[in-house]
């Protein structure tokens, strides 16, 4: 039983992706006493996929999906919009090739699923099979790139080396020495995609927003009771798609690390500005050195800069305005290093988002105790992973089986335990600072 006060999500109000959407429909909040066959907490990629799959597998069941915020307001609506097929950088180092092939298969199943839903429901979210560049600025980045090429060769995955001149014709800057292009990545507008996914949920899913669950306990009949401010949901089967907030319900405590990263975007460039720097639409570049800068050009001509990591023990709060201002200035420096011609083009939004990593880079997936299932800890690449792990969590909860379910069980595990504070905070902050310092030429 968990009755203590819990940290709730409070994301900042300056997410460009969310601001670019039309105002959402009126909110439906949790009120009164409700009974559900299945309840899902968290309406990000994981929770949305879980609710959809539950509904497909159990068309006569009542499924309630509940989120503390509006759909699209959490990390799933504020990321950089890369839906990545390749295993996460750390997972690429895994010694077992079969492990990596399973991860690839799972991520690709997620992409196929999203592609199908975007087409079927005509979700207007800049969905695009653009592939992605991985860019190196100096010797450090180039060393990472060479290592990445070796790993891709071992994996038998296609890639293409792109030199400075060829890259500049697409991205409009000669800042990078070289890049590697991999074709399997898709790009999208994340807030638009998750809102579209929520709007197209099957009829037997009820979505309740702005309804933080503040307590979780089991009643005398063994059902879970999810307590909100103005109502409660009783259910025999609970699925958690709550990422780092899973700890707040008493699970995986001291095993997840809350990390924030940040993005800024410009106003839409004019056609004259696009022409003057010779830049194309709709591409994305991630840094060869993971502590570097991600850059994206959207279909509506905005440039996005994402960098900076912060360990945020108080993850229910956004960072202060002054910290956000400091981060925005760092984004400005990164923008002008690449596009000095855009000195007069302002950023219109700067935002952050929180996600969970684990010290052993292991994702959790499975049953936490009778009737409680969770997928948590995607190490920051959760668009594909959240989608497939949420889908398969639903399959596990209803007792069905599939090859993908077997695969996800074999590639996930228990995130390792963190050292106690203050050693944890000190260690993580030192590591992030060292990575930022070592990678400063790649920023």
Ligand X SMILES: Cc1cc2nc3c(=O)[nH]c(=O)nc-3n(C[C@H](O)[C@H](O)[C@H](O)COP(=O)(O)OP(=O)(O)OC[C@H]3O[C@@H](n4cnc5c(N)ncnc54)[C@H](O)[C@@H]3O)c2cc1C
Residues at the interface with ligand X (CB under 6 A): 8-9, 41-47, 66-69, 74-76, 78-82, 84, 212-213, 241-243, 245, 261-263, 306, 353, 355, 378, 380-384, 386
Q: Tell me the closest approach of the beta carbon of residue 165 to ligand X, in angstroms.
A: 27
Q: How many CB atoms lie within 10 A of CB 277?
A: 17
Apex 287 CA angle, 283 and 291, nearest 5: 140
The smaller minimum CB distance to ligand X, of residues 237 and 261, is found at 261
Q: Tell me the closest approach of the beta carbon of residue 325 to ligand X, in angstroms.
A: 17
The smaller minimum CB distance to ligand X, of residues 387 and 418, is found at 387
DSSP letter at 244 equals G
Q: Which of 400, 63, 27, 68 lies closest to 201 in space, CA to CA? A: 63
Q: Tell me the closest approach of the beta carbon of residue 173 to ligand X, in angstroms.
A: 20
Q: Cα separation of 136 and 426, whole Å?
A: 30
279, 297 Cβ separation under 8 angstroms: yes
Which residue is associated with the tokens 């050693």? 423
Q: Tell me the closest approach of the beta carbon of residue 271 to ligand X, in angstroms.
A: 27
Instruction: Please report the sign of the dihedral spanned by the C-alpha atoms of residue 421, residue 422, residue 427, residue 433.
Output: positive
Q: Tell me the closest approach of the beta carbon of residue 428 to ligand X, in angstroms.
A: 17
Q: Tell me the closest approach of the beta carbon of residue 423 to ligand X, in angstroms.
A: 26
- Torsion of Cα atoms, 195 then 201 then 205 then 208, to 10°: 10
The smaller minimum CB distance to ligand X, of residues 273 and 385, is found at 385
For residue 24, the SS3 value is coil
Q: Cα separation of 340 and 327, whole Å?
A: 19
Q: Tell me the closest approach of the beta carbon of residue 40 to ligand X, in angstroms.
A: 10
* The 63-66 sheet, strands edge to edge: 205-208, 63-66, 38-41, 238-240, 372-376, 364-369
Apex 287 CA angle, 283 and 290, nearest 5: 140
The smaller minimum CB distance to ligand X, of residues 45 and 283, is found at 45
DSSP letter at 202 equals -
Q: Tell me the closest approach of the beta carbon of residue 389 to ligand X, in angstroms.
A: 8
The smaller minimum CB distance to ligand X, of residues 181 and 355, is found at 355
179, 131 Cβ separation under 8 angstroms: no
The smaller minimum CB distance to ligand X, of residues 170 and 354, is found at 354
Which tokens is 129 given? 């099979």
SS3 content of the chain, % helix, strand, coil (to 5): 35, 25, 40
Q: Tell me the closest approach of the beta carbon of residue 194 to ligand X, in angstroms.
A: 8
The smaller minimum CB distance to ligand X, of residues 9 and 141, is found at 9
Q: Cα separation of 243 and 224, whole Å?
A: 19
The smaller minimum CB distance to ligand X, of residues 74 and 415, is found at 74
The smaller minimum CB distance to ligand X, of residues 81 and 287, is found at 81
């Amino acid at each position: 039983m968990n009755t203590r006060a819990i940290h709730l999500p409070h994301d900042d109000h300056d997410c460009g992706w969310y601001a670019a959407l039309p105002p959402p429909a009126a909110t439906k909040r949790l009120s009164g006493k409700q009974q559900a066959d299945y309840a899902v907490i968290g309406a990000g990629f994981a929770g949305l996929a879980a609710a959809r799959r539950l509904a497909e597998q159990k068309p006569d069941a009542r499924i309630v999906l509940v989120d503390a915020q509006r759909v699209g307001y959490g990390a799933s609506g504020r990321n950089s919009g890369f839906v990545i097929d390749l295993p996460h950088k750390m997972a690429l180092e895994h010694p077992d090739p079969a492990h990596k092939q399973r991860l690839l298969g799972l991520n690709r199943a997620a992409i196929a699923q999203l592609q199908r839903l975007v087409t079927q429901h005509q979700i207007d979210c800049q969905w695009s099979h653009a592939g992605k560049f991985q860019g190196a600025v100096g010797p450090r980045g180039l060393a990472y790139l060479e290592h990445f090429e070796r790993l891709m060769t071992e994996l038998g995955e296609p890639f293409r080396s792109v030199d400075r001149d060829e890259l500049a014709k697409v991205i409009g800057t000669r800042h990078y020495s070289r890049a590697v292009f991999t074709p399997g990545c898709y790009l999208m507008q994340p807030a638009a995609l998750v809102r579209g996914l929520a709007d197209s949920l099957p009829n037997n899913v009820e979505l309740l927003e702005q309804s933080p669950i503040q307590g979780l306990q089991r009643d005398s009949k063994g059902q879970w009771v999810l307590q909100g401010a103005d109502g409660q949901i009783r259910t025999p089967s609970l699925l958690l798609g709550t990422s780092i907030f899973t700890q707040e319900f008493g699970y995986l405590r001291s095993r997840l690390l809350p990390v924030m990263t940040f993005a800024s975007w410009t106003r839409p460039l004019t056609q004259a500005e696009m022409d003057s720097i010779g830049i194309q639409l709709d591409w994305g570049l991630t840094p060869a050195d993971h502590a570097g800068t991600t850059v994206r050009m959207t279909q509506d001509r905005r440039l996005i800069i994402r960098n900076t990591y912060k360990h945020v023990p108080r993850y229910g709060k956004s960072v202060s305005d002054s910290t956000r201002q400091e981060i925005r200035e760092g984004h400005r420096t990164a923008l002008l290093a690449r596009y000095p011609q855009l000195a007069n083009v302002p950023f219109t939004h700067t935002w952050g988002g929180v996600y969970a990593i684990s010290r052993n880079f292991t994702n959790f997936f499975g049953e936490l105790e009778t009737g409680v299932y969770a997928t948590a800890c995607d190490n920051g690449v959760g668009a594909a992973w959240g989608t497939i792990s949420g889908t398969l969590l639903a399959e596990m909860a209803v007792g069905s089986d599939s090859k993908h379910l077997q695969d996800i069980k074999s590639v996930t595990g228990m995130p390792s335990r963190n050292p106690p504070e203050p050693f944890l905070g000190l260690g993580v902050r030192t590591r992030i600072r060292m990575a930022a310092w070592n990678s400063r030429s790649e920023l």
